[in-house]
Amino acid sequence: MARKPTTGAGRRPAITYKQAGVDIDAGDAMVERIKPLVRRTFGPRVMGHLGGFAGLFRLDYNEKLFQRNYADPVLVACTDGVGTKLKVAFAAGKIDTVGIDLVAMNVNDLICCGAEPLFFLDYLGVGKLDPAKMEEILRGITDGCLAADCALLGGETAEMPDFYESDEFDMAGFAVGVVERTRLIDGSAVEAGDSVIALASDGLHSNGYGLARRVLLDLAGFKLDDAPAELEGASVGQAMLQPTRIYVKPVLDVLRHYRVKRVVKAMAHITGGGLGGNLPRVLPPGLTARVKRNSWQIPPIFRLIQDAGPVDEQEMARVFNMGVGFVMVVAASFAPAVMARLRRGGERCWELGKIKKGGSELEWA
């Protein structure tokens, strides 16, 4: 028998969505707060207005100052998150930079095939929707979009009080880009003798935080505001929350400079799996890279983790980027010019090694 609602004196008071944990008014207030942040990422390709059901973006356009047209465009898309770096952000009460990480993890992947990032989308799942906190997060995301020269075209914020704690959230990002088919970089042109150029990371970036947190915060017992001598003046929290470096502008500057010659032959974003897990992914069968082990100084945060664990050197190299955030494989004769251009763009870079015949795993020298 169906249960009938009680009436009159015995009837329950009406319940609202807000009482169930979801605040529609807070969601509306958040949208108003973030509109100026989102608009600053818009360029001449963005069409329509904020608040629609979907974002509109022109691939080709003919404005004189910004003209960009494609003969045979290939769309490129990727998605990624920030992982348990968020737990460090929650503990530190600092959530204004994880949005940069979110953008970086996507656009750094996107450019590996030579693509230009066009627009970015975000998803935020929150326990309690606080408009001021959401503004902090979105400021980081829009900062990342500006650094990557792409538009924040849309997003979704879901308030799920039964799924997340009130002061926690999760985030995912989605990037879409384009590359002219004739300029697609897929590693097929790599040959023995090519130079491998490393672009420095800014630390942990957004990978390996399960191990980093376990070692530094649990086993070693560091507090986030501790500043061990190994970190050369930085606190543990500062080192762990250093945003992921965005390589888009300097890398695309190199690609656009060499429009005719195929100077850049392969690129890899060094994330989880380290050099050994990522660089071989972009090399043709029968070729590997001989990496000069002592060609760079490993950043202090990695040494601290290794010593505090202790963590075996091979495990460190398998989990972390160890100071190499991005790699470009280029024709050897152009390597000095490419590195000079990258340095003018603000990158710290060096020749990491050479491509050689044989094997499928990196060879360390």
pLDDT digits (tens, 9 = 90+) for 119-167: 999 999 999 999 899 999 999 999 999 999 999 999 999 999 989 988 8
Mean local confidence (pLDDT), 337-350? 98
Q: What is the mean pLDDT of the chain?
A: 92
State the Cα–Cα distance between residues 227 and 236, nearest whole angstrom: 6
Confidence of residue 7 (pLDDT cuts 50, 70, 90): low
Query: At which residue do the structure tokens 């970015």 appear?
Result: 120
pLDDT more than 90, % of the chain: 75
Q: What are the residue ranges spanned by the domains of the chain? A: 24-58+69-183, 195-364
Residue 38, pLDDT > 70, answer: yes
Residue 4, pLDDT > 80, answer: no
Query: At which residue do the structure tokens 């914020």 appear?
Result: 157
What three-state secondary structure class fits 37? helix
Q: pLDDT: is 330 or 7 the higher one?
A: 330
Confidence of residue 3 (pLDDT cuts 50, 70, 90): very low
Confidence of residue 31 (pLDDT cuts 50, 70, 90): confident
CATH topology of domain 24-58+69-183: 60s Ribosomal Protein L30; Chain: A; (3.30.1330)
Q: pLDDT: is 365 or 74 the higher one?
A: 74
Q: Give which of 144, 158, 129 is closest to 99, Cα–Cα.
A: 144
Q: Give which of 193, 179, 108 is closest to 148, Cα–Cα.
A: 108
State the Cα–Cα distance between residues 315 and 210, nearest whole angstrom: 13
- Check residue 247 and give its pLDDT: 98
CA 66-138-140 angle, to 5 degrees, is 80
Query: At which residue do the structure tokens 């390589």 appear?
Result: 247
The domain made up of 195-364 is a member of CATH 3.90.650.10: yes
Mean local confidence (pLDDT), 191-217? 97
CA 288-108-102 angle, to 5 degrees, is 135
State the Cα–Cα distance between residues 264 and 331, nearest whole angstrom: 7
Beta bridge pairs of residue 351: 197
